[in-house]
Amino acid sequence: MLNNKIEGLIAAPFTAFDQNGELNLDLIPTYYQSLKKNNVKGAFICGSTGEGVSLTFDEKVQVLKAWTALTKADPDFALIMFLGGTNVKECKQLAVISEQEGADAISFTSPYYFKPANVQQLAKCCQEIAASAPNTAFYYYHIPVLTGGNYNMIDLLEAVDDLVPTFKGIKYTHEDFMDFLSCLNYRNRKYDMLWGRDENMLSSLVLGTKGAVGSTYNYAAPLYNDLMAAYEQGNFEEANKLQQKSIDMIRLLGKYGGIATGKAYMKLVNLDCGEFRLPIANMSKENFELFKADVAALGFESFKSIN
């Protein structure tokens, strides 16, 4: 059971595929070591960045086992397994396997086809899934832009409080700072609130968050570690400058097609994770050359993750 609140960066790793679009599990040990070298405190696997919704059940299990083989004996690295959201029965099965394999925590998001009618129904889903892994910490994953689950998270905390004993906190990937702060302060800061918008990290630090989960920590962890350090030291001008650098970097994701651009960044830190699966569009070779020029103009070499 993950008992302490998470502090620092948790990367959301990309799932690596080979040239045929099949899992490339052989990259995971190198990937894990890269995160460790860059002072990343854990991994949130098979989530949005990890294309969990595009993986089969068996593939998710394979990815889980490849990571837990490395992390279950590492007390300084938290592994969070994202179970999914639409199929509650499958989430329960993955929860059982996650506990058996030694994951530190499991995570679940709102069902996004048949949606819960209200937050009480969502809490019932959390309760049933969490009960399948009674010795493993449980995090809810709030990302309404993708799920359509537009519930206030303070309402969810009130619904699960004392209902789900293993409920640890929320991975909060949304811009509602009022709701986030209310969750952070709920019952004397009982729950672990992990910020999930890399481009808004500084604002979350002001509110009091200590941990964050994000995709850009895979390839630019030094930037965010420096940002957090600058804030903690009271150097707000430096923190402001570093957050703007993050924003400039993230804007290139939109310029070059969205989430798949992250794997292009990974190539620039010598971790080739292949391409995204359909329906996501991948970058053309011509655009990759333009992308590299834009990235160089950002000064990426000065803050990219080392490998």
Closest CA to 301 of 262, 270, 269, 276: 269
| Antiparallel, parallel or unpaired: β 192-195 and 105-109 | unpaired
> Which H, E and C letters describe 21-73, residue by residue?
CCECHHHHHHHHHHHHHCCCCEEEECCCCCCHHHCCHHHHHHHHHHHHHHHCC
* Catalytic (active-site) positions: 141, 171
Q: From the CB of residue 264, how many other CB atoms can be counted at a distance below 10 Å?
A: 22
- According to the annotation, is 49 in a ligand binding site? yes
CA-to-CA distance for 148 and 142, rounded, in angstroms?
Answer: 10
Those residues with Cβ within 8 angstroms of residue 145's Cβ, 6 or more apart along the chain or in another chain: 173, 174
Helices (H), ranges, 48-139: 57-71, 88-101, 119-131
pLDDT of residue 54: 97
pLDDT tens across 24-79, in order? 999 999 999 999 999 999 999 999 999 999 999 999 999 999 999 999 999 999 99
Using a cut of 0.75, tell me whether the model's pTM lies above it: yes
pLDDT of residue 7: 97
pLDDT tens across 241-251, in order? 999 999 999 99
Q: Which segments in the chain show pLDDT lower than 70?
A: none
pLDDT of residue 3: 82
Q: Structure tokens of 27?
A: 């990259």
- According to the annotation, is 213 in a ligand binding site? yes
